[in-house]
Amino acid sequence: MADYRRTVLCDLQLAQGARLVPFCEWEMPVEYSGISKEHRGVRTGVGLFDVSHMGEFFVRGPESLDLLQYVTTNDVARLSDGAVQYTTMASEEGTVVDDLLLYRMGRDQYMMVVNAANIDSDFHWLRTQNSFDSRLEDVSEQTTLLAVQGPSAQEMLQAVTEANLSALASFRCIETRVAQVEGILSRTGYTGEDGFEFYFSNSDAHTVWGTFLDAGKSFGILPAGLGARNTLRLEAGMLLHGHDMDHTTTPIEAGIGWVVKLEKGEFIGREALLRQAEAGVTRKLAGFQMLGPQIAREGYPVLVDGHTVGRVTSGGPSITLKKNIGLTYLPVEHAVNGTRLQVQIRKGVGEAEVVPTPFYKRRASI
């Protein structure tokens, strides 16, 4: 049996009813009290996620901006201190090496947050491109990351920090004390709800986890696993690297072309992405909903008029909307709202229809 890595909170989570599954060389909680219950808890109250399997790198030095401008597609120069940016790293062919969050922590200092499956390869990629003499540090092994997500997240978290959370805008971060522990707090998340993510030392993980659960009791806080995290992000139209985009797809095809700033100057993949932007894409990532009770799972063939045109990249039930939904790449002529599709499910087919994404969007805004 393969040796899987575990976060420092794993034993405590097992005692709290977590069910573990393999995920990207890790053994992670997929659920505690049930995916549907945890999903609804985040949509209506507050949920607590351990996402310490994610990777964190620091990039420091006078030429850090130049390095990051070169290896990412978005315009890093637009970031002010305390700003967070969603971006991608692209290959020379313009395809997605990884999608990530980039934090500007101060002058000449940035933090990159990358996907768990890509920690080693991303750090190697950075080092091979670092002709700018920036100082690179992988702090993933020493960092715990907890996400507090849901409409009650701010009120719950405010009870355990002196920071004024109402003044912390979406995609902003501060260095502060939460639960009496120093760390980086950002108003970010992967659920489609308001929420926060807190980065801090592994040595304080048990203290912070317990404090969050105690502070959240009156709000009905629920520990939530990767199962609910996946159903929540799919409803919100958030993409999963390795599934909805990878080394075969570009950010433009994936519908996140807004993170590609061709006008900023030279960066890896720019020429390929410029050609694609000028010529237009031949396929696009599109959302669909099933018209019957069938569930579209990843890998199922997608057909138009009986001809296979793609495969499901993500799919499953929308617990909030009580529909079955999914994502797939379609030829552009079919990636139009209202287009009828068929999804091959085992020996049969289920009827589906292209619909706008995100499937779910919360009413309140920060």
Instruction: Look at residue 100 in the predicted model and tell me its pLDDT.
Output: 98
> Cβ neighbours of residue 141 under 8 Å, at least 6 residues apart?
none
Residue pair 117/99 in contact by the 8 Å Cβ criterion: no
Q: Which helix (H) or strand (E) holds 274?
A: helix 270-279
- For 333, residues 6+ apart whose C-beta sits below 8 A from its C-beta are none
In this structure, the number of other CB atoms found within 10 A of the CB of residue 266 comes to 8
For the segment 332-348, the average pLDDT, to the nearest whole number, is 96
* Other residues' Cβ atoms within 10 Å of the Cβ of residue 34: 16
Q: What is the pLDDT of residues 213-257, one digit of tens each?
A: 999 999 999 999 999 999 999 999 999 999 999 999 999 999 999
Query: pTM value?
Result: 0.96
Write out pLDDT tens, residues 14-57. 999 999 999 888 999 999 999 999 999 999 999 999 999 999 99
Please give the single-letter amino acid code of residue 160: V
Average pLDDT, the chain: 96
pLDDT interval class at 365 (50, 70, 90): very low
Query: Domain residue spans in the chain?
Result: 1-281, 282-355
Contact 349, 306 (CB under 8 A): no
Which two three-digit tokens encode residue 264?
Answer: 């900023």
Q: Are 260 and 251 in contact (CB under 8 A)?
A: yes
Percent of the chain residues topping a pLDDT of 90: 95
Model pLDDT for residues 194-221, shown as the tens digit of each residue: 999 999 999 999 999 999 999 999 999 9
- What homologous superfamily is domain 1-281 in, according to CATH? Probable tRNA modification gtpase trme; domain 1 (3.30.1360.120)
User: How confident is the model at residue 1, as a pLDDT?
Assistant: 41
Question: At what angle are helices 226-235 and 35-44 packed, to 10 degrees?
Answer: 50
- pLDDT one-digit tens code per residue, 267-294: 999 999 999 999 999 999 999 999 999 9
Phi-psi region of 299 (alpha: psi -120 to 50; beta: other; left: phi over 0): left
Residues in Cβ contact with 85 at an 8 Å cutoff, skipping those fewer than 6 apart: 74, 76, 78, 79, 101, 102, 103, 104, 171
The fraction of the chain above a pLDDT of 70, given in percent, is: 99
Residues 236, 215: Cα–Cα separation, whole Å = 27
- Report H helices in 78-187: 119-129, 153-158
pLDDT tens, 142-199? 999 999 999 999 999 999 999 999 999 999 999 999 999 999 999 999 999 999 999 9
The tens digit of pLDDT for each residue in 112-128 reads 999 999 999 999 999 99
Q: Which residues of 270-282 are buried (b: 16+ CB within 10 A; e: fewer)?
A: bebbeebeeeebe
pLDDT at 24: 85
* pLDDT, position 151: 98
Identify the band that residue 366 occupies on the pLDDT scale cut at 50, 70 and 90. Answer: very low
Rounded mean pLDDT, 98-109: 97
Alpha carbons 168 and 171: distance in angstroms, whole number: 9
Structure confidence at residue 142 (pLDDT): 97
Residue 314's pLDDT band (cuts 50, 70, 90): very high
In this structure, the strands spanning 26-31 and 19-23 are: antiparallel
Q: Which two tokens stand for residue 238?
A: 């958030």
pLDDT at 363: 74
133 pLDDT tier (thresholds 50, 70, 90): confident
Is 343 a residue whose pLDDT tops 90?
Answer: yes
What average pLDDT does this structure show over 300-323? 97
Position 364 confidence tier, pLDDT thresholds 50, 70, 90: low
**What CATH number was assigned to the domain covering residues 282-355?**
2.40.30.110
Burial class (CB in 10 A: 0-12, 13-18, 19+), 330: buried
- On the question of pLDDT at 356 being above 50, the answer is yes
Burial 333-358 (b: 16+ CB within 10 A, else e): ebbeeebebbbbbeeebbebebeebe
